[in-house]
Amino acid sequence: MGKKAGYGRMKGKGKGVPPRICPLTLLPREIWKRIAARVASASIQDLFNMQATCKVFLDAARSSAVYKVASMAELPVVFGYALEDRPEDGFLYRSARAGNPAAIFRVGIREFCWMGRHVAGVGTLLEATDAGDVQARYMCAMLLLTPGVGDEADAGRAVEMYANVLAAGKIELCRDFFEQLFANPLIGVHPSYPGKPVVCRSSVCPTHGTMGAANDSSSVSCVHCLAEFEVLHFFSLFTFR
């Protein structure tokens, strides 16, 4: 008689029980990548938890497609450079290299602050804008409309960015985000309230010149004027060098 049946043991002469296979490993890797992307887009903490508990999931979660769509909401915006050997920073930079708009924005904020909060340090923020990040689009619009910065082409691009954010209904969201962001003492912001009238740059603007007080934009229809008004609001949160 053969040995007692069991894992890898003989049940009868010449017969063996094959090793057990986890059903999850039978799923194609592409399916696992889609699952990982869905989890990452909702919560990277859930992604990390699944990586820690499932070896099959661990490999799929390292795909660039997953990094590209991962939510950055649980990663705080850091104002200085950090080392990529820290898990959260490593994840951030891998996501940015994969083309994740929110990750590129967070890297751009670090570079902007590292360069003394100077408008010359907006290169990566512009990359985040091109990638579709709405907060980067708002911030770059405000920076490029800063008096004395850029040329008419930059101003035109900035108004276009602002109009995009306005059309998406994200102005208040961006205002709230940057108000909280710039309230952090680590960024060294000193509020400034210029409160000056704004001169519209559009040749077809019905105001034909100087607008009224910066706190009264309720009757303004010109998107150029609204963008200039928004710059003054932005200045009330941030002081540029």
Quick one: pLDDT at residue 90?
86
The CA angle 58-127-65, to the nearest 5 degrees, is: 20
pLDDT of residue 210: 56
How does pLDDT run across 183-208, given as a tens digit for each residue?
A: 766 555 444 444 455 566 666 666 65
Strand partners, 12: 15
Give me the half-sphere count of Cα atoms (radius 13 Å) on the Cβ side of residue 181.
19
Amino acid at 35: I
pLDDT at position 52 is 83
The candidate with the shortest Cα–Cα distance to 226, out of 175, 155, 166, is 166
Res 75: pLDDT: 83
Cα of 136 vs its chain's centroid, Å: 7
Q: What was the pLDDT predicted at 193? A: 45
User: Which of the residues in the chain have pLDDT under 50?
Assistant: 1-8, 10, 189-195, 214, 240-241
- Work out the number of other CB atoms within 10 angstroms of the CB of residue 200: 22
Close Cβ partners of 192 (under 8 Å, ≥ 6 residues apart)? 235, 236, 238, 239
Give the per-residue pLDDT at 1.
46
Question: What dihedral do alpha carbons 99, 66, 33, 51 form, nearest 10°?
Answer: 150
Rounded Cα–Cα distance for residues 217 and 229 (Å): 7
Looking at the DSSP bridge assignments, the partners of residue 199 are 210
Average pLDDT over the chain reads 76
140-155 burial, b at 16+ Cβ within 10 Å, e below that, comes to bbbbbbbeebeeeebb
Is this model's pTM higher than 0.85 or not?
Answer: no
β-pairing verdict for 10-12 and 15-16: antiparallel
Cα-flanking dihedrals φ and ψ of residue 89, to 5°?
A: -75, -40
